[in-house]
């Protein structure tokens, strides 16, 4: 019975987690679509509950694009981090009068190759516009500052953890103040979470960077289509009967009124080839 209760509690936790993620996904997806609609100056009408699943698809597309772009730009920032780490160390010594140095991660070959791709993305942003270009540069510089900070906190956390474990398994190794060491570990952990959160959230505050990601998300989700073919017809007969007669190269076509909307804002609401027939 106790095992069944454990399974039920685990299942209940999973269901609650999925429900919370679903709500968050709907909220974030709605924000992304609303932001895109504001950028094009049109707000969609007739949104239904069924569109919620599409919101989740938009969030999924945005997550994939953001993780990939941030990883590439983060690698570019890591390549620059040895320089920024020295600058931060000098600032720390002058401001806090401390000899503590800020360490940068080791730049390996895979990391260097990813960094080259990141710099390539920056150059690609130049073809989009100056705002996007300088936003991407700002993201790389921003990450080159946060990465050494996160790396130093991680190294300090590992060293303090090793000391704590050594004091447990080797009584001869003592820590000056056990309570102080525990508080220090908590403080470093909170610092790591804060720096990591800033690395993830702050790039989105840059308008040019977030705009490029939003446009790419809408393309991936199928909301935005580039190089679409648009056919312009001459209307020969409208407002009489239940169909509209249009003129095209292949001949005159009759389209039922329910499949077409003619007005100042919308030229074509729906176009179904199966509904077309040659006009007599």
Could you read off the pLDDT of 251-273 as tens digits, one per residue? 666 777 666 655 544 444 444 44
Let me know whether 176 and 255 are in one domain: no
Let me know whether 145 and 166 are in one domain: yes
Between residues 57 and 224, the one the model is more confident about: 57
Q: Which of 153-162, 204-213, 230-239 has the lowest mean pLDDT?
A: 230-239
**Separation between Cα atoms, residue 271 and residue 169, nearest integer Å:** 75
Q: What is the mean pLDDT of the chain?
A: 77
- Using alpha carbons, select from 151, 135, 143 the residue that is nearest to residue 198: 143
Let me know whether 185 and 133 are in one domain: yes
User: Tens digits of per-residue pLDDT, 71-114?
Assistant: 999 999 999 999 999 988 888 888 776 677 788 888 889 999 99
- The neighbouring-strand residues paired with 253 are 246, 278
Task: Write out the H or E segment, with its range, that includes residue 50.
Answer: none
Choosing from 189, 221, 253, the residue where a domain stops is 221
Let me know whether 214 and 93 are in one domain: yes
Q: Which of 30-39, 74-83, 204-213, 248-257 has the lowest mean pLDDT?
A: 248-257
pLDDT at site 235: 67
Between residues 87 and 52, the one the model is more confident about: 87
Number of domains composing the chain:
2
Residue 229 lies in a domain: no
Choosing from 196, 221, 246, the residue where a domain stops is 221
Residue 34 lies in a domain: no
Say what the pTM is.
0.69
Strand order in the sheet with 277-278: 234-237, 243-248, 251-256, 277-278
**Cα dihedral value 38, 66, 190, 99, nearest 10:** -110
Q: For the residues 127-152, what does the mean pLDDT come to? A: 93
pLDDT at site 266: 43
Burial (CB count <10 Å: 0-12, 13-18, 19+), residue 135: buried
Residue 143 lies in a domain: yes
Let me know whether 155 and 191 are in one domain: yes
Q: Which of 77-81, 149-153, 188-192, 270-274 has the lowest mean pLDDT?
A: 270-274
Let me know whether 68 and 197 are in one domain: yes
**Containing domain of residue 253, as a range?**
234-278
Residue 228 lies in a domain: no
Residue 113 lies in a domain: yes
Let me know whether 247 and 157 are in one domain: no
Task: Say if residues 253 and 246 touch (Cβ distance below 8 Å).
Answer: yes
Choosing from 221, 243, 260, the residue where a domain stops is 221
**Cα dihedral value 39, 40, 44, 48, nearest 10:** -50
Per mean pLDDT, which of 38-42, 145-149, 216-220, 243-247 is the most reliable? 145-149
Residue 253 lies in a domain: yes
Task: Say if residues 104 and 82 touch (Cβ distance below 8 Å).
Answer: yes
Let me know whether 145 and 182 are in one domain: yes
Residue 158 has pLDDT above 90, yes or no: no
Question: For residue 34, what are its two tokens?
Answer: 């609303």
Residue 209 has pLDDT above 70, yes or no: yes
Let me know whether 169 and 271 are in one domain: no
DSSP 58-100: HHHHHHHHHHHHHHHHHHHHHHHHHHHHHHHHHHHHHHH---P
Residue 270 lies in a domain: yes
Let me know whether 94 and 182 are in one domain: yes
Residue 193 lies in a domain: yes
Let me know whether 95 and 204 are in one domain: yes
Let me know whether 137 and 241 are in one domain: no
């Amino acid at each position: 019975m106790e095992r069944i209760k454990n399974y039920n509690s685990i299942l209940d936790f999973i269901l609650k987690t999925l429900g919370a993620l679903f709500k968050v996904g709907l909220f974030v997806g709605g924000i992304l679509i609303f932001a895109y609609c504001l950028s094009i100056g049109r707000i969609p009408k007739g949104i239904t509950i069924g569109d919620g699943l599409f919101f989740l698809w938009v969030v999924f597309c945005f997550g994939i694009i953001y993780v990939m772009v941030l990883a590439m730009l983060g690698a570019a920032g890591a390549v620059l981090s040895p320089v920024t780490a020295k600058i931060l160390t000098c600032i720390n010594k002058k401001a806090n009068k401390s000899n503590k140095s800020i360490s940068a991660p080791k730049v390996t070959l895979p990391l260097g190759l990813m960094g080259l791709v990141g710099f390539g993305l920056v150059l690609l942003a130049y073809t989009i516009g100056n705002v996007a270009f300088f936003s991407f540069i700002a993201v790389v510089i921003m990450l080159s500052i946060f990465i050494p900070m996160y790396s130093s906190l991680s190294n300090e956390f590992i060293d303090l953890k090793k000391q704590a474990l050594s004091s447990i398994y080797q009584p001869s190794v003592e820590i000056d103040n056990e309570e102080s060491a525990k508080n220090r570990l908590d403080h470093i952990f909170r610092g790591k979470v804060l720096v990591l959160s800033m690395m993830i959230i702050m790039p989105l505050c840059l308008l040019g960077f977030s705009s490029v990601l939003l446009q790419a998300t809408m393309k991936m989700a199928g909301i935005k289509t580039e190089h679409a073919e648009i056919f312009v017809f001459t209307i020969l007969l409208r407002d009489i009967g239940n169909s509209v007669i249009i003129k095209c190269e292949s001949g005159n076509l009759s389209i039922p009124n329910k499949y077409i909307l003619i007005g100042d804002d919308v030229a074509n609401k729906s176009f179904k080839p199966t509904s077309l027939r040659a006009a007599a």
